[in-house]
Structure 1
Amino acid sequence: MTSTFHVRGGRPLKGEITVRGAKNLVSKAMVAALLGEEPSLLRSVPDIRDVAIVTELLKVHGVKVDRDVATGLIRMDPSNVERAHAAEIDAHAGSSRIPILFCGPLLHRLGEAIIPDLGGCRIGDRPINYHLDVLREFGAHVDKRELGIHITAPNGLKGTKIHLEYPSVGATEQVLLTAVRAEGVTELTNAAVEPEIEDLIAVLQKMGALITLQTDRTITIEGVERLGGYEHVAIPDRIEAASWACAALVTKGDVFVQGAQQKPMSTFLNVFRRIGGGLDITDDGIRFFHPGEPLRSIAMETDVHPGFMTDWQQPLVVALTQAEGISIVHETVYENRLGFTSALNDMGARIQVYRECLGGSSCRFGWRNFNHSAVISGPKALHGADITVPDLRGGFSYLIAALGAEGISSIHGIDLIDRGYESFREKLTALGAEYWED
């Protein structure tokens, strides 16, 4: 697969594209199938690399997987779950962090789990220790070995009380996937409550789990001895939808995103409208367009749901380079997520980053040496440049900048975008973008 992508910018994106199931739900729902003793059926599955990775990881653990890429249908039969070698897991996982979420289900099904060293996007401090600590709370034994980590549960897994210092999505997923078949009751406080978490809870409930989500970020899980399969339509990808929305704004275009839903995107839609973006919301999707008037600057900060999602921040920053005046963005979820702005400056943007908490309340990074606030001056005309993809969301943000820039941009490492954006090349073609690869 080629990894250098050339874009001739300055052309408005116009047309219609479709988003399918959310990357942040689909992979976790696939892992959940391991917990059941009957087949599961997941619909609206996107053709992205993370799905391919989980598919192969399920197969090496004995799960029979039948996948229809065209229809987005995947069937998983976990009747014959078996152990896998660390080398097999490592070969398929690569830099993905997904294997850590296999631990709870595998402990229930096999009594042990093996995970290799884990990677993922380099956007901040995301140690797996939080996951291992959660598993220990349930009674798991963690043995760190040369080839990876060996986890056992000689006395089974027991329900427990867990309080998260920060409402981490990954830690919440780990608790849910582990607690549903643990003996007794688990109470998780300060849990993440993102729409993808709620959708994962819906999947587990269809399998027979007993889960109560309260209004104060408390989740109570009553463990059950057995779970069945599920049939579920995945929630649409609100991150991908917002990314195309920002692309429409930066290129002064008009894009209808089939499948985008209002409710999980409401916080983004408010911000999009405040900076001057145009919206038309229908039952089938959302139209995002540049209204022709100058965009307005804004002060905002990212936060856990229902706040402004951190994965929306990078595409929005590109749009804010075209807004009149001074915009302030305070990143409170990942401490190193503003590093991508240096390449935008190389393309003509004017963005300064600061260690201080700007534009809002103080956050957990305020006393540490991280550039987690950005001041964006605009509007600034962008021009083509030679840039390298730093991470998944930053990479698509560079693509947005290249689409709105005058001249040709060469983007290296574009393959990383395939992890979370289905058929983005075909969608660019459908919207009238000019690009080529070599």
Structure 2
Amino acid sequence: MTTLLSGGAASAPTPGGSSETILVRGGRPLIGNVTVTGAKNLATKAMVASLLGDTPSTLRDVPEISDAQVVRSLLEVHGVRVTDGAEPGSLILDPSAAVSAHMEEIDAHAGASRIPILFCGPLLHLLGEAFIPDLGGCRIGDRPINFHLDALREFGAVVEKLPSGIRLSAPEGLHGANIELPYPSVGATEQVLLTAVRARGVTELRGAAIEPEIMDLIAVLQKMGAIISYEPNRVIFIEGVDTLQGYDHRCIFDRNEAASWACAALATDGDIFVKGAKQQEMLTFLNVYRKVGGWFDVREDGIRFRRGGDLKPVTVETDVHPGFMTDWQQPLIVALTQAHGRSVVHETVYENRFGFTDALNKMGADIVVHHEGLEAEYRRVPRRELEQAAVISGPTALHGADVVVPDLRGGYSHLIAALTADGESTVRNVGILSRGYERLFTKLADLGADFDILD
């Protein structure tokens, strides 16, 4: 059965639903308003943090995405009572009856998510053991969990590798540690924070990630009673405490989604007001947006995005915060196919993150990926062995094609490219987009996108 969503209709698949293929009729600018709520990269971690409290927690502006549903299911498997709050988008999380869960249950509910690794610290404090199934996630590189396991060992955890996953235990409890990350990994920083707050003694973390979502997680933990301070040069100190209480917190907005809509306005020559977007957390993105020829208007309740004239080429290096996010480069590259000249994007955070450009070339783009990276005279970000570079020459007219979504951000880029292109495109495996984009198809329809949901 085909469900029609065209020109503002309002029937959309639910997160994690069965909708996998859509037919897109492109060539129309996206115009209108969208609202972004809580950040995927904060909400899911704050939900895990509720395990650390002795009383229930309330989390507000939780995005309606499948990753949040996965975490909810994993919490429930561990005996946490999760209920919807009175305010739309709010959850009440009560860990008072938390119990250990079987590996099979964790694996069944985790699906492709990598979130179970962050349950380890709280569960070791609460139950003395934790399990990690084989981890999934987007196929954008190796993304090893060695940083996590090494940190947990420093806290005193015993790591046992099994055929079905990894079992961790803490027979003598967890203690503070001196940890230096070889790279400012967001996930590993979250791991240390969630573990150190109830470990005995003081933890010093060097080389920490300092993304806005990390700062928001620190705010959550401080509300619970944690003692956390951070200094220049990526140093965080955590003084362990015996007990923590529940929190009441509203999630920081999702800057990844906000940037995605901004790039969609550029690519389709549209005009999109992103309600809930804020300037401070997007300063680096906004600078690049202006350089490429985008126009934006910062308002009290959001930011309006559109073109300011012909698009211009830029050179971008992805980096950890406060640099240009790796999640921003993929939708930006779609817009750069319409820029007049040669743009270069240096990807320094993940390896193999330019695979999505194959589909763009199939649609008429001129993108060349240099798998060993490119030398550049002016570099702000130190070169890494894993880095690659994409050279985008434009403008090129995009045309419809049959494409398959490879991962979350690359898949969104495919969708925006299809909406930019002339003619019809079939975009398959779009169900993965529900991991990070709330009510995506409803929002697209509200912006005037013309598409059919095929299954």
TM range (shorter): over 0.9
Shift of 1:2: 2.5
Match of 2:274 among 240, 257, 260: 257
- The answer for the alignment partner of 2:412 in structure 1 is 396
Shift of 1:138: 0.3
Shift of 1:150: 1.0
- The answer for the alignment partner of 1:84 in structure 2 is 101
- The answer for the alignment partner of 1:61 in structure 2 is 78
Answering whether residue 84 of structure 2 is matched by residue 73 of structure 1, we say: no
Q: How does 1:369-388 map to 2 (within 5 A)?
A: 372-388=388-404
- The answer for the alignment partner of 2:116 in structure 1 is 99
CA distance in 2, matches of 1:95, 1:113: 18
- The answer for the alignment partner of 1:304 in structure 2 is 320
Cα RMSD over matched residues?
1.3
- Contact residue 329 and residue 358 of structure 1 kept, 8 A: no
- Contact residue 261 and residue 272 of structure 2 kept, 8 A: yes
- Contact residue 317 and residue 381 of structure 2 kept, 8 A: no
Q: Deviations over 1:36-72 (max 9, x none)?
A: 1100000011100001000000001010000259811
SS at match of 2:340: strand
Q: Deviations over 1:325-383 (max 9, x none)?
A: 11011000001111111110110000111113344439777545x6x101110011111
Answering whether residue 442 of structure 2 is matched by residue 415 of structure 1, we say: no
CA distance in 2, matches of 1:39, 1:66: 11
State the identity as a percent.
Answer: 63
CA distance in 1, matches of 2:234, 2:68: 29
- The answer for the alignment partner of 1:186 in structure 2 is 203
Answering whether residue 344 of structure 2 is matched by residue 338 of structure 1, we say: no
**Kindly tell me: are residues 267 and 94 of structure 1, through their superposed partners in 2, closer, same or farther at Cα, counting changes over 3 Å?**
same
- Matched to 1:283, the amino acid is E
Structure with higher RCO (Cα < 8 A, 6+ apart): 2
Answering whether residue 64 of structure 2 is matched by residue 50 of structure 1, we say: no
Q: Deviations over 1:285-337 (max 9, x none)?
A: 0000123x210101110011000011001001111110001101100000111
Shift of 1:12: 0.7
Answering whether residue 5 of structure 2 is matched by residue 8 of structure 1, we say: no
SS at match of 1:345: helix
Answering whether residue 244 of structure 2 is matched by residue 227 of structure 1, we say: yes
User: Which consecutive residues of structure 1, in runs of 5 or more, have no partner in the other structure?
Assistant: none
- Contact residue 319 and residue 381 of structure 2 kept, 8 A: no
- Contact residue 328 and residue 358 of structure 1 kept, 8 A: no
Q: Deviations over 1:247-269 (max 9, x none)?
A: 01111110000000111111001
Answering whether residue 35 of structure 2 is matched by residue 18 of structure 1, we say: yes
**Kindly tell me: are residues 184 and 214 of structure 1, through their superposed partners in 2, closer, same or farther at Cα, counting changes over 3 Å?**
same
- Contact residue 260 and residue 286 of structure 1 kept, 8 A: yes
SS at match of 1:409: strand
CA distance in 2, matches of 1:395, 1:350: 18
User: Which consecutive residues of structure 2, in runs of 5 or more, have no partner in the other structure?
Assistant: 1-17
Scaled by the length of structure 2, the TM-score of the pair is: 0.94
SS at match of 2:438: coil
- The answer for the alignment partner of 1:321 in structure 2 is 337
Answering whether residue 170 of structure 2 is matched by residue 153 of structure 1, we say: yes
**Kindly tell me: are residues 69 and 130 of structure 1, through their superposed partners in 2, closer, same or farther at Cα, counting changes over 3 Å?**
farther
- Matched to 2:148, the amino acid is H
Answering whether residue 141 of structure 2 is matched by residue 124 of structure 1, we say: yes
SS at match of 1:139: coil
- Contact residue 358 and residue 373 of structure 1 kept, 8 A: no
Shift of 1:129: 2.0
CA distance in 1, matches of 2:93, 2:401: 44
Deviates more, 1:348-357 or 1:375-384: 348-357
Scaled by the length of structure 1, the TM-score of the pair is: 0.97
- Contact residue 114 and residue 148 of structure 1 kept, 8 A: yes
Q: Deviations over 1:118-154 (max 9, x none)?
A: 1110101111222111100100001111222110000
- Matched to 2:447, the amino acid is L
CA distance in 2, matches of 1:365, 1:139: 34
Match of 2:233 among 208, 213, 216: 216
CA distance in 1, matches of 2:87, 2:51: 24
Deviates more, 1:205-214 or 1:125-134: 125-134
- Contact residue 269 and residue 307 of structure 2 kept, 8 A: yes
Match of 1:361 among 374, 379, 387: 379
- Matched to 1:29, the amino acid is A
- The answer for the alignment partner of 2:179 in structure 1 is 162
CA distance in 1, matches of 2:199, 2:383: 35
